[in-house]
Amino acid sequence: MPALEIGRPAPDFTLPGVTVVDGTAQHRHFSLRDMRGAPVVLAFYPADNSAACTAQLCSYQSELAGFEALGAQVWGISRQDATSHESFAARQGLSFPLLADEKGDVVEQYGVNMFGIGTRRSIFIIDADGVLRWKHVALLGVRFQSAARIQEQLRMLDARGDAGAVRDDAAS
């Protein structure tokens, strides 16, 4: 699948997911179209409970108030099922939604399928109108975009308040 273009509508999807708040799991379906009116950060990650993914998602959790202050929601997406996500979220204290793309359809739509065997660690910022404004797709490895870097991109989006495109960061 060709790479998604900055400034174009983000592919819509609906996935099952879970949010764990105060130890209580809430399972439901999450649709990107339901986020119109607010930005959303899609954080694709390879696997629940891996060291790098745990560090990545816990870092976003520790800065969740900063995302919320910018009006944005964070959604984690991987190919594990909602039961795995529930256990992972409860163990790590993650309170933002973790979505289960078990068939890999959304991974494929967003062009982050890694050789058919996994998911590339990737971040996509979708604006309030459902338009892709920024992305970073890692080629390989365990490095991830910091919460501060993502929030910087959200602030740039908020400062513009228009349909101008943010750049496509080079993959690393």
Residues annotated as part of the active site: 53
List the beta bridge partners of residue 63. none
d(CA 25, CA 111): 30
Residue 50 tokens, joined: 């891996």
- Within 10 angstroms of residue 60's Cβ, the number of other Cβ atoms is 24
Report the chain's C-alpha Rg in angstroms. 15
